């Protein structure tokens, strides 16, 4: 790990709750063979665009990837990922929980199929191992946002630190 100034890619990651709050809309990334997330489940989100704040980015990404219109959401936390993926990228992710929306979600998008997955069974799905470390914080009901830092070594999270204030 090199010391110095962090110049991350900034993005959003959203988890959309079902009306009964027992399921979350996930994308199973199976469509693009060159996708570093191929075969994994994830929330929806993407890169922050120039002139856009993180909330506007999250709303746009949800509309584009799911067809849903956000009515209410909360920032659950942030994660800095270091050495992430094959390109060993640096990311700063703003993680949202969406608890109000309207519309019908798409069956799929350009990344893969969308499905409502039980929150209490997310750990059984194929996903980045590091996601298993922060996902419980997204759904735990603690009103304080979490702030984490995670360094990857290949597919494995090598370091994980988290705080809440």
Q: Which CATH class is domain 9-164?
A: alpha beta
pTM of the model: 0.94
Please choose, from the candidates 69, 73, 13, the residue with its C-alpha nearest in 3D space to the C-alpha of residue 42: 13
Q: Phi and psi of 35, rounded to 5°?
A: -70, 125
Per residue of the chain (165 residues), give pLDDT as tens: 556 787 899 999 999 999 999 999 999 999 988 888 899 999 999 999 999 999 999 999 999 999 999 999 999 999 999 999 888 999 999 999 999 999 999 999 999 999 999 999 999 999 999 999 999 999 999 999 999 999 999 989 999 999 999
Domain coordinates in residue numbering, the chain: 9-164
Torsion of CA 134, 139, 142, 147, to 10 degrees: 30
Please tell me the distance from the alpha carbon of residue 29 to that of residue 45, in angstroms, as a whole number: 13
């Amino acid at each position: 790990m090199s010391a110095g100034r962090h110049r991350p890619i900034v993005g959003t990651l959203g988890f959309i709750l079902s009306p009964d709050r027992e399921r979350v809309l996930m994308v199973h990334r199976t469509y693009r063979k060159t996708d570093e997330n191929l075969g994994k489940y994830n929330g929806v989100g993407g890169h922050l665009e120039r002139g856009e704040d993180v909330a506007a980015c999250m709303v746009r990404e949800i509309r584009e990837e799911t067809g849903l219109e956000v009515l209410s959401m909360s920032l659950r936390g942030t994660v800095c990922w270091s050495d992430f993926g094959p390109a060993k990228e640096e990311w700063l992710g703003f993680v949202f929980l969406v608890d109000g929306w309207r519309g019908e979600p798409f069956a799929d998008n350009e990344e893969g199929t969308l499905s409502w997955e039980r929150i209490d069974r997310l750990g059984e799905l194929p996903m980045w191992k590091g996601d298993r470390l922060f996902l419980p914080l997204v759904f735990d009901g603690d009103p304080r946002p979490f702030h984490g830092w995670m360094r990857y070594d290949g597919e494995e999270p090598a370091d994980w630190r988290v705080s809440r204030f």
